[in-house]
Structure 1
Amino acid sequence: MGVIRIIGIVLIIAGAAALSYKQFSYTKKTHNADFGDVHLSLKEKEQVAIPTWLGGAVVVLGIVLLVVPPRKS
């Protein structure tokens, strides 16, 4: 199995995940403070929206990589 086919499969899986979840979130640590024995930490939860067209385009690109035969050098 060639590298192009593996990339195509990975793109199809990533695009399908983007279409099904539509967004993801992560926690960002912003500030730390230490006052003797007291430790304070501020964390912010960020959300990133994934456009539907982007997920669809990634799936289509993965399919194209699987269907189009590789060029001969």
Structure 2
Amino acid sequence: MNAMKLVAVALIVAGALGLAYGRFSYTKETQQAQIGPLELTVSDQQTINIPVWAGAAAIAAGLLLLVIPKSA
């Protein structure tokens, strides 16, 4: 399998996951203060929404990469 097909499959899978889940969350730790040996950190939950058009565009781009023949 060449690199172009791998990229196409990755785009299709990423687009399908984006359409299925619609968002993903991660935890971000930030250091708020450090006073001597004491350290204050805050954990923030960040959520990123994935637009429907982005998932559909990724699937379409992946399909185009699979369908269009490689030139030369």
* TM category, shorter: 0.7 to 0.9
How many equivalent residue pairs?
72
Q: Which runs of 5+ in 2 are unaligned?
A: none
SS class of match (1:27):
strand
TM-score (norm 2): 0.86
CA distance in 2, matches of 1:48, 1:37: 34
3-state DSSP of counterpart to 2:46:
strand
Contact 2:31-2:39 within 8 A present in 1 as well: no
Looking at structure 1, the residues matched to 38 and 6 of structure 2 have their Cα atoms a distance apart, in angstroms, of 50
Matching residue of 1:2: 2
Helix, strand or coil for the counterpart of 2:71?
coil
Q: Which residue does 1:63 correspond to in 2? A: 63
Instruction: Establish whether residue 24 from structure 1 lines up as the match of residue 21 from structure 2.
Output: no
- 2:55 aligned counterpart, secondary structure: helix
Deviation at 1:41, TM superposition (A): 2.1
Tell me the TM-score normalized by structure 1: 0.85
The 3-state SS of whatever aligns with 1:6 is helix
Letter of the 2:21 partner, please give it.
Y
| Pairwise CA distance, 1:34 | 5.1
| Partner residue, 1:53 | 53
Match of 1:71, SS state, is coil
C-alpha RMSD of matched pairs (Å): 1.5
